[in-house]
Amino acid sequence: MREEAVIDFIHSLCLYAGEGKEFAENFRTKLKADEEIYEEFIYYMEHGNFACKAKVEGYTVVDVMVWQMDHFKARLDQDNSGTRQNGDRMVLLAFDTLLNMRKEPEKYLLKISGETGTDYPDKY
């Protein structure tokens, strides 16, 4: 029964995040392949909060969310990122990014350390 609840939660989260069934199925496949991040996702599903036990190169899903918020600030200001006032989308994308980081950590570490928002002097 737990698996059914996870599937339902993923589909609901994707629906609220504006993602379709294909994204949901791809996300579920990646999630099931990574036990540590899967357990983190279950914790979020059951508690509405993060355990922050799953880490990729020292980064947690919360770290990814903070980076995403910073990274998307310019687009959020223009309201064209699809994440404005959509916490479900931010959570979903943070978990998806953490799963992708597991496979290609170098790619994401470069992004996290180099791509930041525009809210400080002399950025551009």
Task: Encode pLDDT of 1-46 as tens digits.
Answer: 589 999 999 999 999 999 999 999 999 999 999 999 999 999 999 9
CA atoms of 50 and 53, how far apart (whole Å): 8
- pTM of the predicted structure, to 2 decimals: 0.78
Task: Encode pLDDT of 80-99 as tens digits.
Answer: 455 556 889 889 999 999 99
Q: Which residue has the higher pLDDT, 52 or 76?
A: 52
What pLDDT is stored for residue 124 in this prediction? 44
List, as one string, the DSSP characters of 25-63. HHHHHHHHT-HHHHHHHHHHHHHSS------BTTB-HHH
Tokens linked to 18: 């504006």
